[in-house]
Amino acid sequence: MDRITKPRARTGPSTLAFHVTRIVIDVGVLIVLAAMSMTFVTFADGARDSVAADALPVLLLLAPLFLATLIPDHSRPIYAPLAWAGLVLALVALPFAVVKYLDAANLASTLGGSVGFGARLLVLGVLVTLAGVALSLAGALLNPGRPAPQ
């Protein structure tokens, strides 16, 4: 009965298979991947998808970061050099995603249509990925005494 009311605090390492920052990065990349299958502009005569909107480079910029999350010792954040490289890639992908959203909004206003959900998800996915990388780097910068992975 006492165990139900007072759960014991964890004292050992995390029981998660992946570190939280790796999960956030992967979720962001998966959101970008989902955005690629949705329409970017919907208008009276049809729709414009991600391939026609030239949004593939955003996914290609984030793919190496996704692969970096698969490097072993998943219970720790990604290694700092890879996180810094991933930060650069995500920071390059963010303005490109915003430009693709603005391009979709411009085309939608020109054709009298509306911006599709894919353009919005593209920007959201890059922001989530960027947040995951920032969390990973913040953990490395705020906890410099963390033992190196072996």
Helix (H, G, I), strand (E, B) or coil at 85: helix
Instruction: Return the pLDDT at 150.
Output: 43
What is the chain's mean pLDDT, rounded?
Answer: 82
Looking at the predicted structure, is the pLDDT value of residue 9 above 80?
no
Q: Categorize the per-residue pLDDT at 50 as very low, low, confident or very high, splitting at 50, 70 and 90.
A: confident
Residues 6+ apart with CB under 8 A from 91: 130
Q: Could you please report the per-residue DSSP string of 5-59?
A: HSPPPP-SS---SS-HHHHHHHHHHHHHHHHTTSEEEEETTEEEETTTTT-HHHH
**43 is written with which tokens?**
């208008």
Q: Categorize the per-residue pLDDT at 18 as very low, low, confident or very high, splitting at 50, 70 and 90.
A: confident
Instruction: Return the pLDDT at 30.
Output: 94
pLDDT for 69-127, tens place per residue?
888 777 788 888 888 999 999 999 999 999 999 998 998 898 888 988 989 999 999 99
